[in-house]
Amino acid sequence: MQQVQQDVLAALAAALDALSPGSGAKARFETPKVASHGDWAVTAAMQLAKPLGRNPRELGEQLRSTLLASEAGQRWVSAIEVAGPGFLNLRLKPEAKQQVVREVLSAPAEFGRQPARGQKLLVEFVSANPTGPLHVGHGRQAALGDAICNLFDTQGWSVHREFYYNDAGVQIQTLAISTQCRALGFKPGDPQWPENAYNGEYIADIAQDFLAKKTVVADDRSFTASGDVNDLENIRDFAVAYLRREQDLDLKAFEVKFDHYYLESSLYSDGRVERAVACLQASGHTYEQDGALWLRSTDFGDDKDRVMRKSDGSYTYFVPDVAYHLAKWERGFTKVINIQGTDHHGTIARVRAGLQAASAQQDLQIPQGYPDYLLHTMVRVMRGGEEVKISKRAGSYVTLRDLIEWTSKDAVRFFLLSRKADTEYVFDVDLARAKNNENPVYYVQYAHARICSILATWQTQSNMQVDALSSVDLMPLDSAPAQALMMLLSRYPQMLAQACADLAPHDVTFYLRDLAGCYHSYYDAERILVDDVKTRDARVALVRATALVLSNGLNLLGVDAPTSM
């Protein structure tokens, strides 16, 4: 149906250009809020009325006549109504809607995908420092990041997934000391236990394996423990490798993979931080005050200037971030998306200010809004009607692996993507485990499994393979339920494009729920495996196309599409 839309849209553009040269570029269709009003809506008459000094309904009538007389209108449009102050409501012929079934069946994996555009995108997400297992907030970020990468892939981008973390600094030193204390036999509550130490039981596990001189292997590092409790550097390196491996196990259970792990410490060892600071100083946007070096970030719209280097000589948090993003730009990533918690909101303006100052000094031509950010809220977890408290410092927080073990990878992914990133979300463990229509992931997966059962029965009855469905006669698909399902299938490509543009993978979950609901309604309205072969095969082709779109959408979210349930 993409070709149908292109044909009719071209006819609309030509009609608009005839009314007002150049206005054809604004030709577009909208989806009516009320299905009974038609398949597509056009508001162009109301937009042109004032500049042309004409009555919008009269313009609407003129557009209606022109469209109906066009080749595309005669071929694909059954009726056009002028409503209200000048809306055009278009109704398509059944054969126009049937085209989407052909499109899906002819290229199942490519439906909705755009050709390669020759542009690179880097998405940085999770980026958890190795100080403990991944919690459910990291899980939300992992689900968001992976789904957004998949969305951009459908739109022709070359996508790079990156995990950025710090293997040095205060938190890592605290991790090393906490592990050392455990190895020495101390535990939380003992007089010898440091006030700021990490209290979780995972620290005891690290200490035990350190004393056993074990070797741990993570995706980006491996290390063998010396077993010497006095060698704090060895303890630190082992603890980092141990927790990086734990993170890898969490991510593997969640089926999230990264192309690259980037160390904050490398920015210092490679001299990138010092070069970035020198560049900012040369830009003329820094000054010394109270023994500290400041970035005049107000020059770039920040609400106040920011300290770069403190009076003790150490750099503040955003300085290596500036150096890191300069490295991203140098690697050719002209579009970058950072997915972070809402607690990082304050760093956005200062990082962008530093990049603009460096860009001007080196003529890098970095866009003002670089990089893009998607901030997400944390997640509350309910189980048995009670909230499971999250306290990372106390070691009692819910881990991502806990959530997967209590429910499933599919449920966690779908649930964490079912709301806008910046909205509070309560993860209901009991709902995620339920096998009924109240559970959205079950509802969608059941629709797919239900269709697979029909397809298996059809293959037995017809002695045909599913590939043969691409050439069946679709004319029997003329009922209202069938046409509603086909119209919803046709909106999948547009939904993908909009979800990508808005960084909104929750739109995919909404669409899949709607599609599953529309399929269930169709199944209830019309028996599919009827005696009439022509009607049967047409209906099987429609539900086969529906299953393929359900599967594609679920896979984009990282959720399985089961063939039986």
Where does 125-246 show beta strands of DSSP type E?
Answer: 158-165, 215-217, 222-224
Distances (CA, A) of 406 to 1, 402, 515: 42, 6, 28
Residue 79: pLDDT over 60: yes
Cα 427 from Cα 381, distance rounded (Å): 5
Rounded to whole angstroms, how far apart are CA atoms 83 and 62?
13
Is pLDDT above 50 for 394? no
- Going from N- to C-terminal start, the domains of the chain cover 2-92, 437-556
In the prediction, which pLDDT does 182 show?
Answer: 97
5-45 pLDDT tens trace: 999 999 999 999 998 899 888 889 998 888 888 899 999 99
Q: Which residue has the higher pLDDT, 275 or 200?
A: 275
Q: For residue 395, what pLDDT is reported?
A: 62
Q: Is 445:560 a contact under the CB 8 Å cutoff?
A: yes
Burial of residue 395 (number of CB atoms within 10 Å: 0-12, 13-18, 19+):
middle
Q: At a CB cut-off of 8 Å and minimum separation 6, what does 438 contact?
A: 431
**Omega cis (within 30) before 371:** yes
CA distances (Å), origin 90, targets 24, 63, 68, 345, 489: 18, 11, 10, 45, 18
3-state helix, strand, coil in the chain (%, to 5): 55, 15, 35
Pairing, β 120-124 against β 306-309: unpaired
Residue found under tokens 């893009």: 372
Residue 544 has pLDDT above 90, yes or no: yes
pLDDT at 140 over 90: yes
Average pLDDT over residues 251-269: 96
Q: Name the pTM for this structure.
A: 0.92
- Span 2-92 CATH architecture: 2-Layer Sandwich (3.30)
Say how many CA atoms lie within 13 Å of 249 toward its Cβ.
Answer: 15
CATH superfamily of 437-556: Isoleucyl-tRNA Synthetase; Domain 1 (1.10.730.10)
Q: pLDDT tens digits, residue range 446-481?
A: 999 999 999 999 999 999 999 999 999 999 999 999
User: Any idea of the CA torsion for 232, 237, 243, 245, to the nearest 10 degrees?
Assistant: -150
Task: Indicate if the pLDDT at residue 393 is higher than 60.
Answer: no
Sheet with 306-309: list strands edge to edge. Answer: 286-289, 292-295, 306-309
What pLDDT score does 36 carry?
A: 82
Q: Give pLDDT tens digits for 315-373.
A: 999 999 999 999 999 999 999 999 999 999 989 999 999 999 999 999 999 999 999 99
Q: Tell me which residue of 522, 494, 509, 507 sits closest to 550, measured CA to CA.
A: 509
pLDDT at 150: 98
- pLDDT per residue as tens digits for the range 63-72: 999 999 999 9
Q: Inform me whether the pLDDT recorded for 396 exceeds 80.
A: no
How big is the chain, counted in residues?
565
Whole-number pLDDT of residue 390:
63
For the chain, give the percent of residues with pLDDT over 90.
Answer: 89
Q: Is the pLDDT of residue 133 over 70?
A: yes
